[in-house]
């Protein structure tokens, strides 16, 4: 039974099929914010079923559990919005338990992931290509997979303009083309090392690369190139170099926090670009939040709720409202720092050193410096939890 449930979980991983709730605390200045909305996804039902089936047989470290509960209690109790932080921590616990279940069955689940991931890449990529050709969503049965209804005329939709031609950046069943690119790239990097190089693999690879090109996610393109380069160097990496590499990754992770000190007076041409200005605004607002709660942060999941009250402190160069900015800052280290403070960022860096380095994690770490979806959205966060569990090796980690 558990193998069937896990197979469905992988197959429907990119799906957004679910039900959103809209309590008062999910609204910011009367505006519904998806990131704050409690929801029940189809993948949640599968994940929780898997946890219930395996919970009695899990080996849970009591000391680590106590440490996690104390950290959660501290963060929630000092949060600016305790209800939001409590819900966010419950999601974290769900992903941790899924990871423990996967780790307990890592060999069997690893084989299942290798077998099913190509099917996921095929149906997601085909849907994305058809959306691009159709210049909008396909609707129909794809609505049941979580595809949202949109066209090139939908306000706020991601578009591409080459010469005088406007085309749609495809979403498939994910919230944004950048998220689609991230999920596609990481799944492909995973099967690159685990799947046989047969006709199916090359068909999947072709479809995946076409989709990646259509998403026009530049950060994903760069991260994928670096990750492929890592694969070629991986065989040359000794234990000592592996440790040095981990220290390097942690350094990059923490150095990204220094961007907070360089966003006060950006060059005018950058500030006038909608996309760049929005990202810089959010970075600047992160710095404001940190000065107010440097030790424990504002509370997990609360970054967006702090935007309106801190916006008044923005420099004049940022004070335009032509973009939608009720979203997390596009940098995971900065986001964690803002919501969990120094305590959270130190723990995150410690945990980072326990994850064996591989091409998928190189990709995730790189893109985490330019986006937030690996910890704020259902499909990427669930994929991350599964991959960490499959990669984790107790002896090597020690």
High-pLDDT (> 70) share of the chain, %:
85
pLDDT average, residue stretch 195-200: 89
pLDDT in tens, 308-355: 888 777 776 665 554 456 889 999 989 998 999 888 888 887 777 777
Instruction: Give the whole-angstrom CA distance, residue 107 versus residue 104.
Output: 9
Q: Where are the beta strands (DSSP E) in the chain?
A: 18-20, 27-28, 31-32, 39-41, 159-162, 165-168
High-pLDDT (> 90) share of the chain, %:
47
| Confidence at residue 243, expressed as pLDDT on a 0 to 100 scale | 65
- 25 three-class SS: helix
Instruction: Give the whole-angstrom CA distance, residue 379 versus residue 41.
Output: 10
Whether 112 and 390 have beta carbons less than 8 Å apart is answered as no
| Confidence at residue 264, expressed as pLDDT on a 0 to 100 scale | 55
DSSP 155: T
| Confidence at residue 142, expressed as pLDDT on a 0 to 100 scale | 87
pLDDT in tens, 152-169: 888 878 888 766 777 889
Higher-pLDDT residue of 324, 360: 360
With 90 as the cut, is the pLDDT of residue 394 above it?
no
Instruction: Give the whole-angstrom CA distance, residue 132 versus residue 134.
Output: 5
| Confidence at residue 63, expressed as pLDDT on a 0 to 100 scale | 80
Q: CA of 63: how far to CAs of 69, 95, 280, in Å?
A: 10, 19, 40
pLDDT average, residue stretch 132-138: 91
| Confidence at residue 362, expressed as pLDDT on a 0 to 100 scale | 87
Assigned token pair, 135: 């210049």
pLDDT in tens, 91-107: 999 999 999 999 999 89
With 80 as the cut, is the pLDDT of residue 396 above it?
no
- SS3 breakdown of the chain: % helix, strand, coil, rounded to 5? 70, 5, 25
Neighbours of 294 (CB within 10 A): 13
Write out the DSSP string of 299-363: -TT-GGGGHHHHGGGS-GGG----S---S--S-HHHHHHHHHHHHHHHHHHHHHTTSPP-HHHHH
pLDDT average, residue stretch 223-245: 74
Considering the chain, what is the average pLDDT of its residues?
85
Four-CA torsion 49, 332, 343, 97, nearest 10 degrees = 10
With 60 as the cut, is the pLDDT of residue 212 above it?
yes
pTM over 0.85: yes
């Amino acid at each position: 039974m558990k193998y069937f449930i896990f197979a469905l979980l992988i197959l429907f991983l990119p799906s957004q099929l679910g039900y959103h709730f809209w309590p008062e605390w999910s609204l910011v200045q009367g505006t519904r914010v998806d990131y704050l909305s409690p929801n029940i996804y189809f993948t949640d039902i599968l994940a929780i079923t898997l946890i219930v089936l395996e919970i009695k047989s899990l080996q849970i470290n009591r000391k680590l559990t106590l440490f996690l509960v104390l950290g959660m209690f501290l963060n929630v109790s000092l949060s600016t919005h305790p209800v939001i932080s409590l819900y966010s921590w419950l999601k974290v616990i769900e992903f941790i338990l899924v990871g423990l279940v996967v780790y307990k069955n890592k060999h069997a689940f690893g084989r299942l992931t290798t077998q099913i991931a190509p099917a996921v890449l095929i149906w997601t990529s085909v849907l994305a290509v058809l959306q691009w050709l159709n210049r909008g969503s396909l609707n129909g049965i794809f609505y049941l997979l979580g595809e949202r209804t949109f066209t090139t005329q939908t306000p706020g939709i991601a578009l591409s303009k080459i010469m005088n031609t406007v085309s749609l950046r495809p979403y498939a069943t994910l919230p944004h083309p950048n998220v689609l690119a991230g999920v596609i790239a990481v799944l492909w990097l995973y099967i690159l090392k685990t799947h046989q190089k047969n006709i199916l693999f090359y068909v999947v690879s072709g479809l995946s690369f076409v989709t990646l090109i259509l998403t026009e996610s530049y950060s994903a393109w760069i991260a994928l190139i670096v990750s492929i380069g890592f694969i070629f160097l991986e065989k040359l990496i000794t234990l000592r170099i592996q440790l040095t590499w981990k220290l390097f990754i942690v350094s990059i992770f923490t150095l990204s926090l220094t961007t907070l000190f360089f966003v006060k007076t950006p060059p005018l041409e950058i500030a006038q670009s909608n996309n760049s200005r929005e990202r810089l605004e959010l970075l600047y607002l992160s710095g404001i939040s940190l000065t107010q709660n440097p030790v424990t942060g504002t509370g997990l999941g609360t970054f967006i709720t702090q935007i309106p009250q801190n916006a008044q402190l923005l420099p004049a160069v940022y004070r335009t409202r032509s973009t939608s900015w009720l979203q997390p800052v596009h940098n995971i280290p900065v986001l964690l720092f803002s919501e969990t403070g120094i305590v959270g960022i130190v723990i995150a860096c410690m945990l980072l050193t326990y994850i064996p380095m591989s091409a998928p994690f190189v990709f995730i770490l790189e893109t985490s410096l330019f986006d937030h979806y690996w910890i704020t959205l259902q499909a990427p966060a669930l994929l991350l939890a599964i991959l960490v569990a499959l990669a984790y090796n107790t002896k090597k980690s020690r």
